[in-house]
Structure 1
Amino acid sequence: MYTITIKNNHFQLSCSGVAFWEEQQTLLIADVHLGKISHFRKHGSAVPHLAIQKNFDRLNESVEQFQPEKVIFLGDLFHSVLNAEWNLFEHWLQQQKAEVILIAGNHDIISPIHYEDLGMKIHQELLIDKFRLTHHPEEQEGSFNICGHIHPGYHLVGLAKQHLKLKCFFRSENQLILPAFGEFTGCFVMKPEKQDEVYVCANAKVIQVN
């Protein structure tokens, strides 16, 4: 893990792609895209069925690690329409002691009624203290934006011209973009400016790179 400080608040960045907000005892998770694997398999892609359970195993590991009071999904919790993974999510949600909140993303097309029936709250954005939580990157004067959507990644090149693309946390002056949490979500290679900070998720560590 790697802890960063933003406006006197502390965020623990995990190699799984989640961020734990210490002052709010809140776990932030972006772009899980549940149902995507089932969607791929339905259309003939050779994706292992066990990959579906892996998303839920990783969610459980993150919750057990941080013991949050709240879990906030920063959009694109589900990839598209209802499928078999909804039942798995419903079972997962029933096991949670923390309050679970969804900030709606562009892929979240499942009716809010289904979430409300499970006791979840849905927002378009949340303003907590000095922080504005959204799905799409949306900087606004007077607040620090924490978001997802981009699936940020970073391209590392070794001395022997090795190439490695890793998902990352991407921090600019007024924004922190979380990596996509879900399996098979891919990543978009970022091109940081001099003042930006990049924290790559490498094996079991989060490492800041220049």
Structure 2
Amino acid sequence: MNQSLSILDQNFVLHPSGGIFWTEKSTLLIADVHLGKVSHFRKHGSAVPFKAVAENFKQLTRIADAFEANSICFLGDLFHSSLNTEWQLFEDWVKSRKENVILVAGNHDIINPLKYEKLGIAIYSEIITEGFLLTHHPEEREGLFNFCGHIHPGIRMGGLGRQVLKLSCFFKTENQLILPAFGTFTGNYYLEPKSGDQVFAVTRNEVIRVC
């Protein structure tokens, strides 16, 4: 189940995969996929299941097919590090899609921009449109609402018997919404909401407002 939000008279849909669909712009916003991270760690001896690679592309296809957007805007850290075998998988995925793909570069996006250019992917340091600021790192700028990633936000929720449930989340403050990390092989940074903040926890099939 999705969650809908209205911000600055624009409509957004929060999807369980961790992406956001901007209705008026017919654009998907996705942060921190970290493609190539699984292969990077496997190369250096970590026992990471290779099926995690396929899961990232399944998730991308799932959300892209769900909304049939005109554009997909990645808010940084699309690819984790230097080129590895997952780049070819990414090329194949992009060529299989009809959406216009855009990248707002993050700190991990170190691959030569010419590689993206050959795929028709435009790269920006930030995008400002309709009163919104799209970045990788969280930014606070007067008069603009910021969509960003980088933090990999998570939330801890206590239960009976001292159980603690840890989930990724969308974390919204007055002028900012931080997207959860989209990639399957990423950690979380657990945030403590303050008065007025809104937190939307992400499960496999639902986005649930928890505060």
| Partner in structure 2 of residue 44 of structure 1 | 45
| Partner in structure 1 of residue 189 of structure 2 | 188
- 1:160 deviation in Å? 2.1
Q: Deviations over 1:51-88 (max 9, x none)?
A: 11110011001100010000000000000000000000
| Matched residue SS, 1:90 | helix
Q: Which runs of 5 or more residues in structure 1 are unaligned?
A: none
Which residues of 2 match residues 6-17 of structure 1 at below 5 A?
6-17=7-18
Q: Which amino acid counterpart does residue 173 of structure 1 have in structure 2?
A: E
CA 117–203 in structure 1, closer or farther in 2 if over 3 Å, else same: closer
Q: Deviations over 1:147-169 (max 9, x none)?
A: 00000000011022111110000
| Partner in structure 1 of residue 35 of structure 2 | 34
- Distance in 2, matches of 1:162 and 1:24, equals 41
Q: Identity over the aligned pairs, expressed in percent?
A: 55
| Matched residue SS, 1:10 | strand
| Matched residue SS, 1:160 | helix
Q: Deviations over 1:64-119 (max 9, x none)?
A: 00100000000000000000000000000001111000000000000111101111
| Partner in structure 2 of residue 132 of structure 1 | 133
| Partner in structure 1 of residue 88 of structure 2 | 87
| Partner in structure 2 of residue 144 of structure 1 | 145
**CA RMSD, Structure 1 to Structure 2 (Å):** 0.7
- Distance in 1, matches of 2:140 and 2:202, equals 24
Using structure 2 for the length normalisation, give the TM-score. Answer: 0.98
- Distance in 2, matches of 1:126 and 1:161, equals 43
| Partner in structure 1 of residue 108 of structure 2 | 107
Q: Which runs of 5 or more residues in structure 2 are unaligned?
A: none
- 1:203 deviation in Å? 2.9
| Partner in structure 1 of residue 166 of structure 2 | 165
Counterpart contact for 2:133–2:144, Cα < 8 Å: yes
Aligned pair 1:207/2:211, yes or no? no
| Partner in structure 2 of residue 197 of structure 1 | 198
Aligned pair 1:176/2:177, yes or no? yes
| Matched residue SS, 2:160 | coil
- Distance in 2, matches of 1:129 and 1:163, equals 39
Aligned pair 1:154/2:155, yes or no? yes
- 1:29 deviation in Å? 0.3
| Partner in structure 2 of residue 22 of structure 1 | 23
Using structure 1 for the length normalisation, give the TM-score. Answer: 0.99
Aligned pair 1:77/2:78, yes or no? yes
- Distance in 2, matches of 1:131 and 1:8, equals 11
- Distance in 1, matches of 2:27 and 2:186, equals 23
Aligned residue pair count:
210
Counterpart contact for 2:17–2:204, Cα < 8 Å: no
| Matched residue SS, 2:161 | coil
Q: Which amino acid counterpart does residue 110 of structure 1 have in structure 2?
A: I
- 1:184 deviation in Å? 1.4
